[in-house]
Amino acid sequence: MADVDQGSALPSETTSPVLDSIMNDTVANATDSINATVTKFVSTPEGTALAYGSLVFMALLPIFFGALRSVSCSKSKNSSDMPETITSRDAARFPIIASCTLFGLYLFFKVFSQEYINLLLSMYFFVLGILALSHTISPFMNRAFPTTLPNKQYQLLFTQDTGENKEEIVNYEFDTKDLVCLCMSSVVGVWYIVKKHWIANNLFGLAFALNGVELLHLNNVSTGCILLGGLFVYDVFWVFGTNVMVTVAKSFEAPIKLVFPQDLLERGLGASNFAMLGLGDIVIPGIFIALLLRFDVSLKKNTRTYFYTSFLAYIFGLGLTIFVMHTFKHAQPALLYLVPACIGFPVLVALLKGELTEMFSYESSDEILPHTPRLTHFPTVSGSPASLANSMQQSSCSPRRRRHTPSSL
């Protein structure tokens, strides 16, 4: 979070559904002091354009590729890669849970030392970031791993008691490919912990965003409208109505935002005057765009009309946010512009094509295999690094979601 020089906005910082909504809404300029005085670095037009252009480009990557991966994820027969489905009840409660979490963090930062809280958060996101990044690069490792090298299977098993009372605490299965991914991701994790470098922050942020778009599925368009509509109100209230989000965002240090320096041209990789985009402004619209891609696939017309429409609408909404922010020199909640664009444009296209009824009757949860296992309590986990990252995000960072079977629908 930063002062509002040059039209800065509140950063929306999120990494998983609950944290997504905590900082979920803003594009920001963070202006640091050049020296011990109060003199501020003034960004050049070229530097500002490069920073915001890069943020928009980075935001599009997890949405595009996460949506594509969500299609194969919904058809996967591997229980470790099964998505979590958000229902209409979950969507309706989401803004309330997010508001309570946000205000709780606000009180925490008021009562306890910011230093120790951020230390705990850094260690948590260090572990979660490694797992999320490992999951992100695992498909590439599957293709790049030499066939001449043996791909051995491993299992990490912890149990308690013996005999009939024996209970598994951790049952973690992985192979050589997963081990390589974890090692590579650990290097980025150490880099982030030691240096807090903006590139390491972005690698973790992109991984969190892609995992969110891929693994969190809205069960239908109506649920998506409820979720986005609720967060629209949440966003506007906490940005314009109080200083709670400003305080939390200024105090919160975690890789739950994408950043890009506006002084990169002057200072190189050591630049520190960052423009920011919170992951909530990526993941929340992203899961709705991914739903529309799965709807396109269900139509079996070999077109991606609604996906491309919503994707272009997202670009328009994000660009409009930046434009208004710099025009009025005031913080702007991004969902104020993203939600009407991402919902309105696809609905208008469906209305013109006569497919509005089909759109709102589509059930994404019908594609989910019934009776798939889910994490019931932490830390009992089983599966690959992908399933472990998914389980940690589901259990620790998201509101309660249920996976519906056809019989329950």
Residues acting as catalytic residues: 235, 281
CA–CA distance, 287 with 157 (Å, rounded to integer): 34
Non-local CB neighbours of 314 within 8 Å, separated by 6+ positions: 60, 63, 285, 289, 338, 341, 342
Q: Which amino acid is at 152?
A: K
Instruction: Identify the residue whose tokens are 């306890």.
Output: 112
Q: Give the residue carrying structure tokens 């909404």.
A: 317
- Asked whether 74 and 368 are in contact (CB, 8 A), the reply is yes
Q: From CA 207, how far away is CA 269, in angstroms rounded?
A: 21
Token pair of 25 as six digits: 């809404």
Task: Report the candidate in 368, 407, 377, 409 with the shortest Cα–Cα distance to residue 81.
Answer: 368
CA–CA separation, 114 vs 376, rounded Å?
32
| Rounded Cα gap, residues 336 and 342, in angstroms | 11
DSSP string covering 174-214, please? EEHHHHHHHHHHHHHHHHHHHH--HHHHHHHHHHHHHHHHH
Owner of token pair 């030691």: 194
Of 257, 242, 202, nearest to 12 (Cα)?
A: 257
Classify burial at 355, counting beta carbons within 10 Å of its beta carbon; exposed 0-12, middle 13-18, buried 19 or more: middle
| CA distances (Å), origin 59, targets 118, 183, 282, 405 | 25, 26, 6, 33
**DSSP class of 36:** S
Q: Can you tell me the distance from the alpha carbon of 326 to that of 119, in angstroms, rounded to the nearest whole number?
A: 34
DSSP run (H or E) holding 228:
helix 221-236
In the sheet that 274-278 helps form, which strands lie side by side, from edge to edge?
Answer: 27-30, 274-278, 257-261
Could you tell me if 23 and 281 are in contact, meaning their C-beta atoms sit under 8 angstroms apart?
no
CA 278 to CA 27: how far, in whole Å?
7
Residue 228 near residue 288 (C-beta atoms within 8 A): yes
DSSP-assigned beta bridge partners for residue 160:
167
